[in-house]
Amino acid sequence: MSREVALTIDDRQVKAAEGERLLWAALDNGIYIPHLCDLREAERTVASCRLCFVEVEGLRGPVTSCTLAVSEGMVVKTRSPGVDRLVRTGFELLLSNHRLHCAKCAKNKHCELQKIARERGLKLKLTRLRSLLQDVPIDESPRHFNYDAGKCVLCGRCIWADQEQVRVGAIGFIRRGIARKMATFEDGCLADSICTQCEACVKVCPVGALYLKADELRLYEPKKKC
């Protein structure tokens, strides 16, 4: 067992294992920090979602909690005007490229974006930015799941699961900028690639980009009358 360190998060004394990332130390102690891209099991943090900002005493400006290791006597604040501003903008940037139709989404009520909006009092609609969503077809080729690139937040969790966890190497990021997307070699459909359809990527997707066909069908089941 590794050594424990004591730190303060939002005026609460908490303990965490030495070397633990601040994000996970906070979550373990029931303090919520928005996050999309980091996975506890992942060796390297990508820090691409830009939502897990916190203020740490002694450090200038908000920092991403997923890239910071806990240390003895650290004083952390998860909310501040600076943090809220960054998270609000980052969140709206993600929404500007996200197909928002929660009621008809297979991940409704299990979606990380909804959770972040609820926890931080953010709106699940665009107020300042204009939608940049392109009309992309849904890849329905796998047997038990679908891939809707229009809902992908580019967190890279599925790619981690595919390349590091199950070591298949069927999916990765292609292109860049607004055209960046998760895809297979030569951007073909999943069933035509070396994908083994193990569904490891579906399990880690925080939003409705990769979802089980069964979950979608459940949406259209007639509601039971009592």
Partner 1 sequence: MRAMDLIEGEEELIHTAVGAVLQSCGTGRESLIPVLQGVQDRLGYLPRLAMQRIAGDMQLPEVEVFGVGTFYNQFRLNPPGKHRVEVCLGTACHMMGGHIILESFERRLSIHEGETTPDREYSLERVACVGCCALAPVVVVDEKVEAKVSPIRVDGILLTFEIEKKEQEAEQQREAEQQREEGREA
Query: Given the rule CB under 8 A, which residues bind partner 1?
Result: 163, 168-176, 183-187, 193-194
Contact of 119 with 179, CB cutoff 8 Å? no
The CB-of-68 to partner 1 minimum distance in angstroms stands at: 27
Q: Could you tell me whether strands 145-147 and 12-17 are parallel, antiparallel, or unpaired per DSSP bridges?
A: unpaired
Round to whole Å and give the CA distance between 106 and 123: 20
Shortest Å, Cβ 166 to partner 1: 12
Contact in structure between 194 and 168 (CB atoms under 8 Å): yes
| CB of 171 or CB of 205, closer to partner 1 | 171
Q: How far is the CB of 161 from partner 1 (least distance, A)?
A: 13
Neighbours of 16 (CB within 10 A): 22
Strands (E), the chain: 4-9, 12-17, 53-56, 63-64, 75-77, 145-147, 171-174, 181-184, 210-212
Closest to partner 1 by CB, 3 or 176: 176
Residue 6 or 191 having the CB closest to partner 1: 191
Are 153 and 49 contacting, i.e. CB atoms less than 8 angstroms apart?
yes
Smallest gap from Cβ 150 to partner 1, in A, equals: 19
Q: Which is nearer to partner 1, 29 or 163 (CB)?
A: 163
Question: Residue 65 or 184: which CB sits closer to partner 1?
Answer: 184
CB of 175 to partner 1, least distance (A): 5
Kindly state the smallest distance separating residue 205's Cβ from partner 1, in Å.
17
Can you state the percent helix, strand and coil of the chain, rounding each to 5? 30, 15, 50
Q: What secondary structure letter does DSSP report for 113?
A: H
Question: Is 129 or 194 the residue whose CB approaches partner 1 more closely?
Answer: 194
CB–CB of 206/107 below 8 Å?
Answer: no
